[in-house]
């Protein structure tokens, strides 16, 4: 620990600060187990030597590009190195063979331009500046040279840039394994174009991220013997179902609901829609629009992406019909019926939405209503039908809406796989796992608790891997407390 290090008068150190997390300073007096430190902001602080970390005073102007070479692998040292590089728009840093990427919250075109891809193609890992392309390139070379499949984990907090990092990885792999276009859509085109489709139906604005993936995604990109992309497959899991019916301010529901409410007038009329603020599943939050995002343009872009990946016009029509039906379901309200523990549809407005939902789902209106306000119970004597109170009917309504939306999302994924799959059974593949973003709310849903638990387990795994790497390198001193991963 820090207390075992040689802290003397004149030592440059880091100590904890409630506002800045860590602040640096110089020790000017030591009394027993305590050190008196004059910080860079002019304050004098007394701290236990065991809580002080030594500072590297010879850090380079651009920081260290591989943090296994830092003099001190402790939290303030790592964070300071990342901050130095980030201030100069250097967002990538290695920790051994792990890449840390920090979201710049701005466009940095040079990062992904074709000339950058060419530069990293075939380069030895670590030969050039840290980059996500280097990680993808070494995975591709190992796969080809050793006939060994690889996977890349993209993990981090919500808003850290995981989805954009995943896109860059897929774009580079498509660059390496792409075929010349001879007519029609190439596999790599369809793989890349699947992103906006999945984002429209599986992403949402959260407190910390305007485009947060609310589902897990594992993309398998398969290659033939010559290294060309032969097919792909998308595996998804744990869509955040509760978001369909319940959102906290200032978050939004899934993007597609707002996109559809901003569709051309003929679509609005066909789906019997209106302003998004008129729908219960959307107006629980104060946020209806997202700065910098045009829902009308995104609707058209989503339709275009669906065309590109081979989803037919009829299938698109059915898809958005279901999306609209879910919105209408949320506006079906109930009141107490004549009998005890019974309920009826509240008023004409609620009946309008019931009729619209039934029409869009192409089901019988009366059967849909009965499914919401009645319950069937299997008994040894047979099936008994009972009525339910308004609260139970609302629970049934929300349960149905969530189930319909989840089935729609699963169908979309399967449909994308049918389009981009082709030869998705090859022995050579690179998998890209875009895991959920960690978030913590005042009230966490069950799905969010699962997401957070998964992330913690993954971070613990990579912490242990990193510790083993440092031990092998001989530089581990028991003070590594920073979880390195691809952010």
Q: Is 187 helix (H, G, I), strand (E, B) or coil?
A: helix
Q: Is 212 a catalytic residue?
A: yes
Active site (annotated) includes residue 445: no
CA distance 79 to 481: 11
Instruction: Give per-residue pLDDT as tens, 390-418.
Output: 999 999 999 999 999 999 999 999 999 88
Q: How far apart are CA 185 and CA 359, in angstroms?
A: 35
Q: Which of 437, 455, 470, 484 is catalytic?
A: 437
Residue of higher predicted confidence among 257 and 457: 257
**Number of residues written out for the chain:** 487
Burial of residue 184, with CB atoms counted within 10 A of its CB: 0-12 exposed, 13-18 middle, 19 or more buried: exposed
Would the CATH topology of 2-54 be identical to that of 327-406? Answer: no
Q: What confidence tens digit (pLDDT) does each residue in 351-405 have?
A: 999 999 999 999 999 999 999 999 988 888 888 889 999 999 999 999 999 999 9
Active-site option among 163, 165, 230, 331:
163
439 as an active site residue: the answer is yes
- Write down the domain spans for the chain: 2-54, 67-309+422-473, 327-406
> Which of 452, 437, 479, 458 lies closest to 159 in space, CA to CA?
437
**Beta carbons of 177 and 459 less than 8 angstroms apart:** no
Is 159 annotated as catalytic?
A: yes
Q: How far apart are CA 114 and CA 204, in angstroms?
A: 30
Q: Could you tell me if 82 and 37 are in contact, meaning their C-beta atoms sit under 8 angstroms apart?
A: no
Is-catalytic flag, 386?
A: no
Average pLDDT, the chain: 87
Please give the full DSSP string across 74-90, using - where no structure is assigned: SHHHHHHHHHHHHTTT-
> Beta-carbon neighbour count of residue 227 at 10 Å?
14
Overall CATH class of domain 67-309+422-473: alpha beta
| CATH of 327-406 given 1.20.120.720, 3.20.20.100, 1.20.1250.20, 1.10.150.20 | 1.20.120.720
Q: What angle do CA 337, 340, 345 make, to 5 degrees?
A: 20
pTM of the complete model: 0.83
DSSP assignment of 268-330: HHHTT---GGGSHHHHTSS--S-TT--HHHHHHHHHHHHHHTT--HHHHHHHHHHHHHHHHHH
- Of 93, 158, 203, 387, which residue is the catalytic one? 158
Catalytic residue among 81, 93, 206, 213: 213
Q: Taking residues 88-103, report their average pLDDT.
A: 91
Given the candidates 3.30.420.40, 3.90.10.10, 2.30.30.140, 2.60.40.420, the CATH classification of the domain at 2-54 is: 2.30.30.140
Nearest one of 461, 391, 410, 397 to 217, comparing CA atoms: 410
Residue list for the binding site for ATP: 156-163
């Amino acid at each position: 620990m820090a207390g075992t290090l040689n802290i003397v008068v004149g030592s440059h150190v880091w100590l904890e600060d409630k506002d800045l997390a860590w602040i640096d300073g110089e020790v000017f007096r030591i009394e027993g187990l305590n050190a008196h430190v004059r910080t860079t902001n002019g304050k004098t602080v007394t701290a236990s030597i065991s809580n002080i970390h030594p500072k590297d005073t010879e850090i380079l102007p651009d920081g260290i590009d591989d943090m296994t070479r830092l003099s001190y692998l402790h939290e303030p040292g790592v964070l300071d190195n990342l901050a130095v590089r980030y201030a100069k728009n250097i967002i990538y840093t290695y920790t051994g063979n792990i890449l840390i990427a920090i979201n710049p919250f701005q466009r940095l075109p040079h990062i992904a331009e074709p000339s950058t891809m060419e530069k990293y193609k075939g380069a030895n890992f670590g030969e050039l500046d840290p980059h996500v392309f280097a990680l993808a390139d070494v995975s591709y070379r190992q796969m080809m040279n050793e006939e060994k499949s690889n996977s890349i984990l993209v993990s981090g907090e919500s808003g850290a840039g995981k989805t954009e990092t995943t896109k860059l990885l897929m774009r580079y792999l498509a660059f390496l394994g792409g075929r010349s276009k001879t007519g029609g859509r190439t596999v790599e085109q369809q793989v890349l174009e699947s992103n906006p489709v999945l984002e429209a139906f599986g992403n949402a604005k959260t407190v910390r991220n305007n485009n947060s993936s609310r589902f897990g995604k594992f993309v398998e990109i398969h290659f033939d013997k010559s290294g060309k992309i032969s097919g792909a497959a998308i595996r998804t899991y744990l869509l955040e179902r509760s978001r369909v019916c319940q959102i906290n301010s200032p978050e939004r529901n899934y993007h597609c609901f707002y996109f559809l409410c901003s569709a051309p007038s003929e679509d609005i009329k066909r789906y019997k829609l209106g302003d998004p603020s008129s729908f219960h599943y959307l107006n629980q939050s104060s946020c209806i629009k997202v700065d910098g995002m045009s829902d009308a343009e995104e609707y058209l872009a989503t339709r275009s992406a669906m065309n590109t990946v081979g989803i037919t016009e009829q299938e698109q029509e059915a898809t958005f019909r279901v999306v609209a039906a879910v919105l209408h379901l949320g506006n079906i309200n109930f009141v107490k019926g004549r009998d005890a523990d019974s309920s009826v549809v509240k008023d004409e407005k609620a009946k309008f939405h019931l009729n619209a939902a039934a029409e869009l789902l192409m089901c019988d209106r009366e059967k849909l209503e009965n499914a919401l306000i009645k319950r069937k119970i299997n008994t040894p004597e047979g099936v008994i039908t009972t009525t339910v109170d308004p609260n139970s009917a609302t629970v049934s309504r929300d349960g149905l809406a969530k189930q319909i939306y989840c089935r729609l999302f699963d169908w979309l994924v399967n449909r994308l796989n049918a389009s981009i799959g082709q030869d998705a059974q090859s022995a050579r593949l690179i998998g890209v796992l875009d895991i959920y973003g960690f978030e913590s709310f005042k009230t966490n849903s069950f799905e969010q608790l699962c997401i957070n638990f998964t992330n913690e387990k993954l971070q613990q795994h990579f912490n242990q891997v990193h510790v083993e790497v440092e031990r092998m390198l001989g530089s581990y001193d028991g003070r590594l407390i920073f979880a390195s991963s691809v952010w």
